[in-house]
Structure 1
Amino acid sequence: MTNRWPDRLPLPTIDGYGIRPGEAVLRTEMEAGPARQRRRYTQVPSRITVRWVLRREQFALFEAWYRWTAKEGGEWFEIDLKGGLGLLPQEARFTRQFEARIVAGILWEVRSELEIRERPTLSEGAMAILLEEDMQGLIGSIDALHTLIHTTLPGPHAW
């Protein structure tokens, strides 16, 4: 992927941010008894509602990037988006035209919706570990290991 969200533009704000996973399950109502359900897809795109607050010059850059690089929103691009695993790069494209309005007289509020190919989630193995182990203790151990390696131990040149 060659297109990337411009570093000169801010990431979406938390206000108005939302994730809506696509439907992966097909449900069939039965004449009698419980409905049947089956998984239709293993990779399901999700929709992300986004909002940016941009200064005038940022909005000008956004409009040009949207038109020329994102091809009016139809091209995939990489952008850092929040999810359960934190802020991670994801492949996205616009699903509808953005809406923009002036707020506070000097700022532009831009709203739209992005489609991401696949939401980053824990692996099945990582999920199993977190379900079995004390999560806070595990996180504390990881933080302690990080501190040991990056702060306490001497660098490789010291050996």
Structure 2
Amino acid sequence: MAELPVYPPQLPPPDDGFDAQHVDPILRTPLGSGRNRKERLAGTVPTNLTVTYLFTIPEFQLFEGWYRWILHDGLLAFKGPMKTSLGIQNGLEMEITEMYSSRSKGGQWIVTAPVQILKRQTISELDTQYPDEIIYSGVFDRTMNRHWPKPIR
């Protein structure tokens, strides 16, 4: 399989503030008793987002050309940056699932696009065994940066 195209590094990533809808990996079959029989269909499911990009006029020109010629009007998936619960992730496999919409405002172009991250991003199964390390990771980072010994010159 050919390598996926890459989101142009000259363009800004999607703006913060979007809703994520994860595809349900469980198939539920209603039973006559009113209960459901459940079956896990997939271990990895996509996440659907509607994101907003804020572009200058030249950035919007590049985006439109990249979408049309490199992604073949959205036919191809691509690798690009996206903010997830794990922070900014670069090189995520995603696709623009429908044609984007755009509007001009004050010298900027506001582009709204439905995007699907092909694999839901979560911490690893091993990480869930150490919940305190996840919950207090910010405190640990600040403490280490403040108190880490300075190198001797």
TM-score normalised according to structure 2 size:
0.85
Q: Distance in 2 between matches of 1:83 and 1:75?
A: 22
Q: 1:102 to 1:142 in 2, by over 3 A?
A: closer
Question: What do the CA deviations read for 1:51-89 (whole angstroms, capped 9, x no partner)?
Answer: 112121111111101011111112121111111111112
Q: Larger Rg: 1 or 2?
A: 1
Contact 2:96 2:115 survives alignment (8 Å): yes
- One-letter amino acid of the structure 2 residue matched with residue 154 of structure 1: P
Match of 1:82 in 2: 83
Structure with greater helix share of residues: 1
Residues 30-62 of structure 1: per-residue CA shift (max 9 Å, x gap): 111412222111111111211112121111111
Match of 1:9 in 2: 11
Unaligned runs of 5+ in 2: none
2:148 paired with 1:154: no
Unaligned runs of 5+ in 1: none
- Structure 2 matches for 1:10-159, cutoff 5 A? 10-15=12-17, 17-89=18-90, 90-104=92-106, 106-130=107-131, 135-136=135-136, 138-145=137-144, 152-154=149-151
> Which deviations, in whole Å up to 9, do the C-alpha atoms of 1:73-117 show, x marking residues without a partner?
12121111111111112111110011112223x221111111111
Tell me how far apart the structure 2 counterparts of residues 133 and 4 of structure 1 sit (CA, whole Å).
33
Say if 2:44 and 2:120, in contact at 8 Å, map to a contact too.
Answer: no
Return the offset for 1:133.
6.0
SS for the counterpart of 1:26 is strand
Instruction: Tell me the SS of whatever aligns to 2:61.
Output: helix
TM-score w.r.t. the length of structure 1 is: 0.82
Aligned residues: CA RMSD: 2.2
Q: Describe the shift of the 1:97–1:30 C-alpha distance in structure 2 as closer, same or farther (beyond 3 A).
A: same
User: Hey, what's the Cα distance between the residues in 1 that align with 2:134 and 2:42?
Assistant: 32
Alpha-carbon offset, residue 134 of structure 1:
8.2
